[in-house]
Amino acid sequence: MATFDRRNLLRAGGGLVAAATVTTASAAAVAQAAPGPAQLTTRNPLVEQRADPFITRPVNGMYYMTGSVPEYDRIVVRGASTIDGLSTARERTIWRRPASGKMGGHIWAPELHRIDGKWYVYFAAGDSDNVFGIRTYILESSAEDPRADSWVLRGQMITKWDTFTLDSTTFEHRGKRYFAWAQGEPGIATNSNLYIAEMASPLAIKGDPVRLAVPTLPWEIQGFKVNEGPAVIIRNGRVFMTYSASATDARYCMGLLTADERSDLLDARSWTKSPQPIFTTNDATRQYGPGHNSFTVAEDGKTDVLVYHARDYRDITGDPLYDPNRHTRVQRLYWNEDGTPSFGVPVGKGGPAVRFSPLDAPNLYVRHYEYRLRVDGDVRELADSQFRLVAGFREPGRVALQSVNFPDRYVRVVDPMTVRVDPYDESDAYGRAASFVQVPGLADGGAVSFRLATDSGTYLGHDNGRFVAVRPGGSYRDRQRVTFRTS
């Protein structure tokens, strides 16, 4: 792309005053995404071949993780002081199934919880003569570290029916502890439904279970009629329960139940099921069958993190339950202006996905719409506003902005008034138009600005909702319009 005729550039603030002199970003700065809590991990997947992942909130400065292993024969725990550190942390086997008899079959979906100073693992197990005769069992440990050799089997979690039971979780709300799980109920022709009950202790429920959801919607009954894998997060005056649905191949997806936090959670009428799935297979990012999630928080203690598994390919030979490559993944969970969770798409391989907000309009985000960039508020299509900072295409010290939901597309300046996410091509013109110099924000050194590689005085900026290439004027307001915070 040729250098623009400066007379035709958008004149922010009505002037062509040169921007403050800045230096080219170092190679190290190019390789590192913008700072902030959104940098959850640079690894994707986080842990390979660990399905049904569960990561605790930090306990005494440590995250602990468990999940299903492909052999379905044991329960493992790993720990690290950061989420990223879980990727390489040494794993400890805390329990193995017996060689035969009860619990000698498939071992599935363990969850690890700290309750009243003790650790508990809720897990599903079949018997050696009926590996799918799944029931829920409980391990207990009084040790400070759940990796310690101190686990005791406490027996089965008894529910109303002695039927297929799995994917148990627990949460506390308004002074009560609840148990939520999936089970097959006699008389209902489904594989599993969702239930909730109050807990009498960490080892038992009290009262009859309350049925919250039955798979009836088209996306819940693909291959199998399944509602399973409940996970709870309480925010913004509501209790949100995610769950997974359909067969465990590329059709696997996540749904959402919502209740007012002041309502009776043991009244099924308190809960509303979202009519559409909230997290699904994405061909563009090559992530298939996302589901069986949990929630944790980033190291800042406040940024919510979605934990889930997915595969990197669609086609599976044989029963998908025996395909080992459901990998643990993490990404930031965002929130819409109305307080509901915004999941986006399962992101593909690469570094952190970030959003950019103009310094002078912190409630707006840079996003693409029909591939053209603009600045909007309350972006419901989260992934339209997520980008990755990657190395530029030509000279060293440059960055490119990769679309998260269209990874083959990068931000490219077509002309001063038109900035798009366009498919990559190998031409020099594309490389110049899609490469930028990342510098400290012109209006705030803790934020970022992006200078065009082809013109040292021109930056990416916004103007009344448009996203443009602009030569900022000398005023602070002009510099704000080319300065962006990341989240």
73: left (phi over 0), alpha (psi -120 to 50) or beta: alpha
| Residues 153, 123 contacting (CB under 8 angstroms) | no
Residue 257 to residue 217: CA distance in whole angstroms: 13
Choose, from 111, 185, 228, 323, the residue flagged as catalytic: 228
Q: Tell me how far apart the alpha carbons of residues 163 and 124 are, in angstroms, rounded to a whole number.
A: 12
Q: In angstroms, what CA-CA distances link 55 with 80, 112, 248, 335?
A: 11, 8, 21, 20
CB 347 within 8 A of CB 434: no
Give which of 412, 392, 410 is closest to 402, Cα–Cα: 410
Place of tokens 């468990």: 66
Residue with tokens 């400890």: 92
- Distance, C-alpha 329 to centroid of its chain: 7
Q: How far apart are CA 480 and CA 276, in angstroms?
A: 39
341 preceded by cis ω (within 30°)? no
Query: Residue 21: how many CB atoms within 10 A of its CB?
Result: 7
The phi, psi pair for 25, rounded to 5°, reads -65, 140
228 is catalytic: yes
Name the token pair of 204.
């038992």
Out of 52, 167, 384, 422, the active site residue is 52
Q: Annotated active-site positions, please?
A: 52, 228
